[in-house]
Amino acid sequence: MKKFYDVVIIGSGVVGSSIAYHLSEKRNKEILVMDKGFPLSGTSGSTQAWVWVHNKVPSWYGQLSMYSAELYPFLKKKIGDVEYKRTGGIAPFFDENDRLHALRLAEKQAEVGIEMKVLDREEVLEKEPNLSPDIVGATYSKIDGNVNPFRLVELFIKAARKNGVEFSFYNTIIGIEKTSGLFKISTLNGESYLADKVIIASGPWTKEVGKLLGIHIPVKLVRGQVIVTEPVAPLIRNTIAGVRQADNGEVLVGYSKENVGYDRRTTLDVIQETAKMAINYIPKLANANVVRCFSGIRVIPEDGFPIIGEIPSINNAYVAVMHSGITLSPLTGTLMTELINEGEASLDLSKLNLGRFEKTKSTTVF
């Protein structure tokens, strides 16, 4: 393995591997991706993997998600069948009072070009006859869908490797030092690598990796637990907020948020609540067999929005961390590549810059 690289990407999840792939397309850089585990052993391998747009707010964030969702069909052509399906997305509500909120959301999203509709009960049941008749309505958009996260990350890595990117797994970084303009990265097994640029794409471990560089990246961890059923006959066609059916017939259910740090256990209370939710949404699921459960730790920047771009205080250091890595990975890879190759991205990244947290800090201090 070579010891000097133009770019070292720290993290081989969906964000890191997407950046590696997009950055390698021009084949003009020596790139190394490092991971303390193996791809999919973290967040990217423990997700329902919706490619979800229509109720992301505020609308600029929805628009960002829409741009990324729009890159998926082409990505599928480039790296292979990641089982991306634009199924349409339905977010049901059970309280008639929510219709007003839904209509306001639709109005806001329309301003940035996100086409969404507010459906009444009959329209919901027409689209999805197996949904509960207790649903009074739903927001709906054609743009939403889902992807197979295992295939997505695997194919990002395969395509990147084909373009010459090197990968080093089960290799924990314990130090990053900047000396004479280069980053010296040392690992637990006693190796070191030199890099002109580093990109932190470390998901839930972003804060720890940031610390190695002496910077604070304000993110928090949230646990989500998901139930997986045995394969069943086609039950739903759309991605439902909380439920999706995979190609092989398995139904995945779950939308929970717990602040428990990096604790990936599944717990009976949340699993039982999730089973109840499954039956409330789709009564027929009462008779489905549950085969397994899983839990994943999602990372969320403190203000909820992605952090993508240069690290203001350190030349040639970059960070990409976000909650919706699956939805945003094609766009993140594209933008980071532009930023690194041209020095600027085709979208204004100022809202996403790490520096925004500094500003709020100083206003509270003074």
Partner 1 sequence: MDNSTIVCKCEEINIDEIETAIKMGANQFDDIKRLTRCGMGPCQAKTCMNLVRELISKATGRSPDEIAYPQKRMPIKVTRMSALAANQKSMNIVSVFKEAVTEMDSP
Residues that bind partner 1 (CB under 8 A): 37-41, 45, 150, 154, 157, 167, 169-170, 227, 229-230, 264, 266, 268, 271-272, 275-276, 278-279, 285-295
- As measured in angstroms, the least distance from the Cβ of 224 to partner 1 is 14
Across-strand partners of 22?
A: none
**Amino acid, single-letter form, for residue 322:** M
- As measured in angstroms, the least distance from the Cβ of 156 to partner 1 is 13
- As measured in angstroms, the least distance from the Cβ of 263 to partner 1 is 13
Nearer to partner 1, 107 or 230 (CB): 230
Nearer to partner 1, 166 or 196 (CB): 166
CA distance readout (Å), 137 to 93, 114, 117, 127, 331? 6, 19, 10, 12, 31
The pair phi, psi for residue 341, each rounded to 5°, is -80, -40
Distance CA 136, CA 279 (A): 16
Distance CA 104, CA 98 (A): 10
Distance CA 136, CA 54 (A): 19
Nearer to partner 1, 215 or 228 (CB): 228
Distance CA 228, CA 224 (A): 13
- As measured in angstroms, the least distance from the Cβ of 40 to partner 1 is 4
- As measured in angstroms, the least distance from the Cβ of 273 to partner 1 is 9
- As measured in angstroms, the least distance from the Cβ of 168 to partner 1 is 9
Question: By C-alpha distance, which of 34, 6, 42 is closest to 175?
Answer: 34
Q: Are 59 and 30 in contact (CB under 8 A)?
A: no
Q: At what angle do helices 149-162 and 59-79 cross, to 10 degrees?
A: 60
Nearer to partner 1, 157 or 339 (CB): 157
The burial class, CB within 10 Å (0-12 / 13-18 / 19+), for 130 is middle
Nearer to partner 1, 186 or 280 (CB): 280
Nearer to partner 1, 116 or 227 (CB): 227
